[in-house]
Structures are given as C-alpha cells and as structure tokens.
Amino acid sequence: MFPRRWSEDASIREVVEAMLADDADALAVAEEAGRRMGSGLALLIDALNPQIIVLGSLAVALGERILHAAREVVAEEHCRRRWPRAKSFHRLLAHISAMWRL
C-alpha cells in the first residue's frame, strides 16, 4: 500500500509513528493490517478455542487504530461459521476489547 509514500525499505517504526500521528495513509495501512490480523485470530479461535488472546505491545500502542478492524473481522468470521460456543466467543471479544484500557 502506498508505494509512493513508503519504500520497501521503510521501517516499521516510521509507519507506526505515522499511525500514532493519525496520518490518513498510515491509518489505511493500520486498518488493512487489523483486518488481516483479525483473519488470523479467527483461525486461531476456531482451531484452539482460547479463553483469552494476549496481544503484544504494538497492538496495545496502536489501540483502536488496528484493533477495531481486527475485532470486526473476528466477529464476521464468527457469524459466518455460526460458532457453537457463542457465550465463550462473546467473552473472548470482550477480553479483546478490554485489553487496551490498561
């Protein structure tokens, strides 16, 4: 995304700093990254049925810039698959929602 803005050699730090500054291009990258992260989390939820998922410091630092899209995708995947453990699933979404309030 945005090859005219960031070269292949651009550092993660450079893009993250732009995200934290609420740069429009960087926020578009954050949303796409969040959607991809949500897809991966949905697969892990299906395979492992975790009670909680702990994300790293970068996800916490970016907060809703990345996590909103991730939660949306996880919820979409849940609805599509009609996961039978709905109570556990909604509890897991609540944990994901609450983590950035630390």
Q: What is the pLDDT of residues 13-28, one digit of tens each?
A: 999 999 999 999 999 9
In the structure, what pLDDT confidence band is assigned to residue 101 with cuts at 50, 70 and 90? Answer: very low
Predicted confidence at residue 86, as pLDDT, reads 53
Structure-token pair, residue 18: 């732009």
Residue (of 90, 99, 89) closest to 54 by Cα position: 99
More confident residue, 3 or 69: 69
Contact 16, 58 (CB under 8 A): yes
Decide: helix, strand or coil at residue 5.
Answer: coil
Predicted confidence at residue 69, as pLDDT, reads 93
Express each pLDDT in 40-96 by its tens digit: 988 888 888 787 788 888 888 999 999 999 988 988 886 666 555 555 566 666 666
**pLDDT value at 38 more than 60:** yes
